[in-house]
Amino acid sequence: MDKQILKEIGLSEGEIKVYLALLKLGEAKKTELAKQAGVSSSKIYEICGRLQKKGIVGTLLKENKTCFRAMEPSRLMDFFQEKTAKLESQKKELEKAIPLLKNYSKTEENKTSLYEGLNAIKNFYRTLLEELKQEEEYYVIGVNYGDNLPGIKEFFENFHRQRAKKGIKVKMLVNNDARNTLVKTIPSKSEIRFLPQYLMSNMIILFYKDKSFIFFLAKDAIGLLIENKEITAGFKAYFDAFWKIAKR
């Protein structure tokens, strides 16, 4: 079969190998599965954990050992529909935000730029490192790394390492569920507080000086950059209000 469709719906190369191996085996323990799939046995639990979250692999205990089992292939459609619904929800949030932001200021013309794709999002962060100086600060509302996007955590780990080295400060409002997923280089030169999940969304808002960047991290990432001092001031007021109720 053409494996490309499995890649396009969001499965990594390793996930595809493991899932197809489980379909052949029915169920298998770690060593047998690693051999059939052609992946390192040290990666099996990590890969199967991701496949479990996607709802297409299950586990069972046999002789006190964990076995993995592929769910019915029709569950792939369930996973795809959930992903589609999530993207549609994000699209609607962004559609609601754009006109509000465009109409926010009546006295200053807005300069807007559309960023499409993960490389474009990364380039924005590279620009931030160039524009901000030592002891200058930026603000973030919402932190996530997309849905198992390859290389994203590594990118942000390196970004925050460079940010801290340059002496750029950051204040972050993070959803409480993401507390244990933050990359290890974030804490340096930063202040972080946490909000309950119901106050957060998958949308990330980053702002500094006269720039506000609203974006979603996904395979087909999209972001909107607005250069307007009053809009940035509005986000800062919103941030400060939530900062007071957020927990350390």
> What CATH number is attached to the domain comprising 65?
1.10.10.10
Asked if the structure places residue 82 within a domain, the reply is no
Q: For 130-158, give one letter per residue: b (16+ CB within 10 A) or e.
A: eebeeeeebbbbbbbbbbebeebbebbee
Structure tokens that stand for 8 in this block: 């396009």
Asked if the structure places residue 81 within a domain, the reply is no
What are the pLDDT digits (tens) for 153-207?
A: 999 999 999 999 999 999 999 988 888 889 999 999 999 999 887 666 788 999 9
Domain boundary among 46, 73, 100: 73
Domain that holds residue 53: 4-73
What are the pLDDT digits (tens) for 21-70?
A: 988 888 888 888 889 989 898 998 999 998 888 888 888 888 778 889 88
Asked if the structure places residue 28 within a domain, the reply is yes
> Do residues 44 and 30 lie in contact, with contact meaning Cβ atoms separated by under 8 Å?
yes
pLDDT value of position 238: 92
Residues 110 and 174 in one domain: yes
Q: Cα separation of 130 and 128, whole Å?
A: 5
Query: What is the domain-level CATH number for residue 102?
Result: 3.30.870.10
* pTM of the predicted structure, to 2 decimals: 0.59
Residues 105 and 210 in one domain: yes
Q: Which H helix or E strand runs over 217? A: none
Residues 56 and 92 in one domain: no
Residues 33 and 135 in one domain: no
Residues 43 and 97 in one domain: no
